[in-house]
Amino acid sequence: MDAVGGKRINIRHIIFILMALAVALPLIFKLGLPLRVTDEVRDVYGFIDSLPENSTVLISFDHDTSTLPEMVPLAEAILRHCFRNNIKVIGLALLAEGAAVGDDNLRRIAGEYHKEYGRDYLFLGFRPQFTVAILSMGEDIAREFPRDYRGVDIHNYPIMNNIKNYKDISAVISIADGDMPLYWINYAQARYGVKVIPEVTAVMATTMYPFLQSGQLVGLVAGLKGAAEYEKLLGKPGLASKGMDAQSTAHILIVLLIIVGNVVYFINRRKMRI
């Protein structure tokens, strides 16, 4: 501690304040730090961008609420791309906590693009026994989800007029914080041939790469960085871009503090020898 103006200042307090500013300021003010877009994210973007208007994708919210800081930006980015390109979205959840989150994400982003529930998007809700649910939808989606999240017969909605099973779906997008995309790969992609796109937490990315390299996946969007890359391709920076800026400034501050700490250490060491 140093004495300044008769008071004792704890260096740790200064470091905590600097770190708080390094994280908070990028979340308030737009920095737009450089970000390289990886090939696997670009592949997902290119695939969605190439779909004809009025195509339908199925988005499964396969995550808990503990990973929302990564899951929400991932979901928002892909939903904005779909609705911007007039692609219809059918949502569901194979984990219970993902149901409320998925419904909220769909309603918010659909509202930004003035999309109509039942015509442009639909949320089917939650189903347990995810293996059975995935296989059942390969035969008939209405058999597994006869009613939507609101309790209404899904045949009452125009979006389901020409949708029976995976043959009528352009892709399944699994927004997951665990290994749920593996079940979509094993039971939906391998058996029914539907294209699968995982959007996962950063720690799950390594699990997906073997399937990406084998050609079983369209692409991969992983973690906050992947979401930020997708936002960059969309030209619409959001939560992920701000989060990456905050993360980067925090890392830069840590590096500077290490450098300053070492410089002070060697200066003091030299003074002690004199």
What would the pLDDT profile of 14-43 be if each residue is shown by its tens digit?
888 888 887 787 777 777 777 889 999 999
Helix, coil or strand: residue 7: strand
The residues of the chain that CATH labels 3.40.50.80 are 39-236
133 pLDDT above the threshold of 60: yes
124 pLDDT above the threshold of 70: yes
4 pLDDT above the threshold of 50: no
- Strands 221-222 and 196-200 turn out to be parallel
Q: pTM of the prediction?
A: 0.83
Contact between residue 173 and residue 60 where contact means Cβ atoms under 8 Å apart:
yes
CATH number for the domain whose boundaries are 39-236: 3.40.50.80
Sign of CA dihedral 124, 41, 224, 112: negative
